[in-house]
Amino acid sequence: MLKTAIAALGLGMAMGMSLASPVLAADAPSEIKLGTLYASSGRYASISMPVHAGLKLWVEQKNAEGGVYVKAFDKKIPIKLIAYDDQSNTATASTLYNQLITQDKVDLFVADSGSVLTAPAVTIARDHKMFLFDQTGTGGSFFSKDNPYIALMSDPVSTIWPKPIADFLTKDGPALGIKRVAILYSTNEFTGTQANSLRKFIKDANAPIEIVYDQGVPTETTNYTVILNNIRAAKPDAVIHLGYAPNDIAFLRNVQDVGIKFNMLFCIYPGLETELLEKNVGAKGLQHVFTYVPPSEMAYPVNFGMNIADYRKAWDKKYSDGKIEFGFNAVAGYTTALVIEKTLSVATSLDQMELRKAVFSLSGKLKTLDGTFALDETGGQIGELTPLGQLELNDHGHIKFVAVYPHEVATGKPVYPRP
Residues forming contacts to another protein in the complex (CB under 8 A) are 39-43, 45-46, 49, 87-88, 187, 215-218, 220-223, 225-227, 229-230, 233, 245-246, 249-251, 253-254, 256-259, 276, 279-280, 282, 321-325
Q: Please report how close the Cβ of residue 216 comes to another protein at its closest, in angstroms.
A: 5
Q: How far is CA 210 from CA 199, 239, 390, in A?
A: 10, 12, 22
Residue 284 or 407 having the CB closest to another protein: 284
Q: Please report how close the Cβ of residue 220 comes to another protein at its closest, in angstroms.
A: 6
DSSP string, 47-61: HHHHHHHHHHHHHHH
Residue 139 or 379 having the CB closest to another protein: 139
Separation of alpha carbons 140 and 412, rounded Å: 31
Q: Please report how close the Cβ of residue 198 comes to another protein at its closest, in angstroms.
A: 17
Contact 276, 322 (CB under 8 A): no
Residue 49 or 350 having the CB closest to another protein: 49
Q: Please report how close the Cβ of residue 406 comes to another protein at its closest, in angstroms.
A: 32
Residue 192 or 379 having the CB closest to another protein: 192
**134: which strand partners?**
152
Residue 155 or 273 having the CB closest to another protein: 273
Separation of alpha carbons 35 and 37, rounded Å: 7
Residue 90 or 349 having the CB closest to another protein: 90
Task: Check residue 41 and report its DSSP letter.
Answer: S
Residue 243 or 371 having the CB closest to another protein: 243
Separation of alpha carbons 112 and 162, rounded Å: 22
Q: Please report how close the Cβ of residue 363 comes to another protein at its closest, in angstroms.
A: 33
Q: Please report how close the Cβ of residue 214 comes to another protein at its closest, in angstroms.
A: 11
- H/E run at residue 182: strand 180-186
Separation of alpha carbons 398 and 33, rounded Å: 42
Q: Please report how close the Cβ of residue 201 comes to another protein at its closest, in angstroms.
A: 22
Separation of alpha carbons 405 and 331, rounded Å: 22
Burial (CB < 10 A; 0-12, 13-18, 19+), residue 205, is: middle
Contact 373, 310 (CB under 8 A): no
Strands (E), 4-112: 32-38, 68-70, 75-77, 79-85, 108-110
CA-atom Rg of the chain in angstroms: 23
